[in-house]
Structure 1
Amino acid sequence: MDGGTTGTGTGTGTAGDTDATTEDGDATGTTTGDGDGDTGDGDGDTTGDGDGDPGDGDGDGDGDGDGDGDGDGDGDGDPNGFVRFVALGDAGEGNMGQYNVGAAIHTVCTDHGGCDFAVYLGDNFYNDGVSSVDDEQFNTKFELPYAQLDFPFYVVMGNHDYSELSFAWDKLAYEVEYTNYSDKWTMPDKWYTVPDYPNMELFAMDTTRLMWNHETGAQQAWLDAALANSEAPWKIALTHHPYYSNGEHGNAGNYEGVPFVSQINGATVKEVVDESVCDNVDLVLSGHDHNRTWNELTCGGGERTTHFIVSGAGCKNTGFVHRDNNPVYWEDDTVPGFLLVEVELTRIHTEFYDELGNMEYEHDIVK
């Protein structure tokens, strides 16, 4: 299980939560033994200085197939493995905010020595999704804003990708097919795994289908099997809808403050996370609410403690509501931005950036 978390804030604070957003390193933990038998400092580099130095994070392509990046397939992880990626969602406007965030990602990734990929957390095309694989929105709301970026984007569907009514299921095919026409866009199916990087595996979900209880059994069976078969030290789920959020939509099971209508309140999203994600996934990255939040609340705590981050300010913001008053390490609803994530064998390091590339908060999860 996770030994703890550490966090420090360097930004200007946030709106709407006077008791939680001024915290600076208020959650600290110590690393505990994870049973992998390593004696190093756990930072994933060979110099012991924690900088993830060049040469150890290339996604080594060793073909071990178990997703942990080590060559013998025993699932204990790669002490030299290092992965860096960015996470953002709700970006599909083609507006200045999206262009600014794209430019900031390029600057921050360059300054850090490069990023391996991005995760794109849904609502990829406002307001009604795309109408064909040739839809010009693929160009104006994806390719052009991110023209400077030369790494893959692993994409999940959001509610707006299925139309404003959020259940035009045929629209999925266009976003999946576009994978064949783009050097960046990667969406092989409605849900899928990415086991190709050292010490981690991604589990991309379709929570809009869960909202409508559409193919829930099939998706949950896939997720349960994929998690059970994964030997990755770190398991990271990608969802559009958040589990915890102080934004206008709120927490799963209580979206919009509606207690009884499951297609609105996200009851099925909550059930699937409770049953299949908690205790089996280390980190859940979500969008839907247009803010950036490092939630203090977790779930699980047995084999794995599950942490929750919202990074849904890829091009715009909406204000906090705090309907559920979730305690947070840090949150912001004032400017667009993104999350930077670095994964090593025994540590996940995260940094929140605004649209100008200013780092506002950093936080670690350690095993």
Structure 2
Amino acid sequence: MAILVTGGAGFIGSNFVLDWLAQSKEPVINLDKLTYAGNLGNLVSLEGNSSHVFVQGDIGDRSLVSRLLVEYKPRAILNFAAESHVDRSIHGPGEFIQTNIQGTFNLLECTREYWLNLDEQAKCNFRLLHVSTDEVYGTLSPDAPAFTEEHAYEPNSPYSASKAASDHLVRAWHHTYGLPVLTTNCSNNYGPYHFPEKLIPLMIVNALAGKPLPVYGDGMQIRDWLYVKDHCSAIRRVLSAGHVGETYNVGGWNEMPNIEIVKTVCTILDQLRPKPDGSSYDTQICYVQDRPGHDRRYAIDARKIERELGWKPEETFETGIYKTIRWYLDNPQWVQDVQSGDYREWVGKQYGSVATP
């Protein structure tokens, strides 16, 4: 028995692999392309662990994926592999089309061939769990009800459009071919090992480095925030008990505007790592031009997964953000290692000189 995890060196994928192996002896075959956000440093604690088999490769490589399926015979595949940053998708949508759409198609086809050749019991027990995002649903007005699983897809960015397309492919392979799939759509994750181009880790590392804290527009874009380890527990629950063909929204019940998130980070850093001059980190906040087509509000209604599978998040935003900031303070070497020349070049391109060294 084993599971195949794609994208298992990225932020959410690596947290899932670490949590899985902390509570299970079932081996993980970890396939990751190791692009800019894939980082073996996330998995250093698994060195020498025979239950973790890492393979560098692309879900778009059909011969590789097929070989891994035949060799390791996983009972389940969990697809975390994706290009996931909206800002990057605006500057270069091609990679998002290739990985999120073409890559998912390839994974589905390899999986279908593998699944059809299983014996009846193994075929019945097999699952492919596709990890997606709430951004496929589009944007909400301030007073609109939160996204449910029945909400129409209205993606507004190249990233969310590519993820919506991948969700549709997964659904179609289930309805057309009978492939036993599950889909999860999560809200904004945060926590350990988060690559510091996203809001929360960017604010933490820039604050500690004495750099400006760039906030898009008026900072009133609202998101639901989900601690990554809660997300991992939800995925484990959906894998073990989810109904084949179903979609489950996973959220943290924590709707907040971006500027409030940034100020909360500053307040906690003021307590845990006060500045020598006694000033607050919030003096480093600056407002920059909003990105094109920026969705104003996302919100997840996570009642279905609680009602049907008994899952709900353990962390409040207050406990989760404290743990997250504490982790970054305790792991300065990880932060230094991921801030390569490519990363600095990206931050400069996205936010201009305001956020660069």
The normalised TM-score by structure 1 is 0.30
Higher helix share: 2
Higher strand share: 1
The normalised TM-score by structure 2 is 0.30
Query: Which of structures 1 and 2 has the larger relative contact order (alpha carbons within 8 angstroms, sep 6+)?
Result: 1
